[in-house]
Every structure is written in C-alpha cells, then in structure tokens.
Amino acid sequence: MKNPLLLLAVLLCISTVGWAQASDQFVPVSESYSIADNEPAPVHPVPSERQLLWQETEFYAFFHFGMNTFTNSEWGNGAEAESKFAPKKLPNPRQWLTAVKAAGMKGGIAVVKHHDGFSIFC
C-alpha cells in the first residue's frame, strides 16, 4: 500500500477484530491500593469541609417574591411604580414549605429584592 495511514487503519481494524473474538474469556479484576505512597497529591484549591457540605445540599427551592410577582414580567428595570407592589393578602409560606418538603428539597432561599428592586432617587 502506498498510503501508510491507510495501512495503519487496516492493521488496527484487523487487530481489533481478533481481540474482540478472544475477549469472551476476559475477566475483569478489581484492585484497590491502600498504600499511602500511592495517593495522588491534591490539586489546588482543595475545597474546605464547609464547601463540601454545601455541595451535599443539592436540591433547594428558590422563592422569588418581589416586584415581578406583581407585574408578571420576567425582567424588571427598577422603574416600576411602588404602588404596583400591592399584595391582595399575605403570602402563605407554610404552603410553600409544604410543597418544598413534599418535593424532597432540603431547604430554600428567599429572594425578595433582586437586581430590579425599587429605584431610590435622592
């Protein structure tokens, strides 16, 4: 063959086919090493114990209760009239927590003023 890459590809295919036929007798062996010298060095930065615990929280609820709740818009710009922030009745956080618990969440974070809160001009 004139093309060495083509020859290499053909040889790899042939060797793979031969290996696949013989692999039915292959038995995987699991090994573990308890030698301290075999432990890899940590790659920095290493997370603290507190950061590792935070990663275990996994499934939390976000409660966004702010101006966008009343304007029914995804994004606000802070120029909404304060009079629009007018709840008809008090929120029912027990209902929220019941739903969170039923979903298997471990906690929640309440966001009541985000990037688009009221603008105050002095």
Q: Which two tokens stand for residue 33?
A: 């090493």
Average pLDDT, integer, range 69-89? 80
DSSP string, 30-43: ------GGGSPPPP
Rounded Cα–Cα distance for residues 23 and 27 (Å): 9
Residue 23, pLDDT > 70, answer no
pLDDT of residue 6: 65
Q: Where are the domains of the chain?
A: 59-122
Q: Are 54 and 69 in contact (CB under 8 A)?
A: no
Cα four-point dihedral sign 84, 85, 86, 92:
positive
Average pLDDT, integer, range 96-111? 88
pLDDT of residue 13: 58
**Residue 17 or 62, more confident:** 62
Provide the pLDDT confidence category of residue 120 given band limits of 50, 70 and 90.
Answer: very low
Provide the pLDDT confidence category of residue 43 given band limits of 50, 70 and 90.
Answer: confident
Q: Are 117 and 67 in contact (CB under 8 A)?
A: yes
Average pLDDT, integer, range 43-67? 85
**Residue 62 or 40, more confident:** 62
Q: CA distances (Å), 67 to each of 31, 35, 73, 80, 91, in order?
A: 58, 59, 9, 8, 14
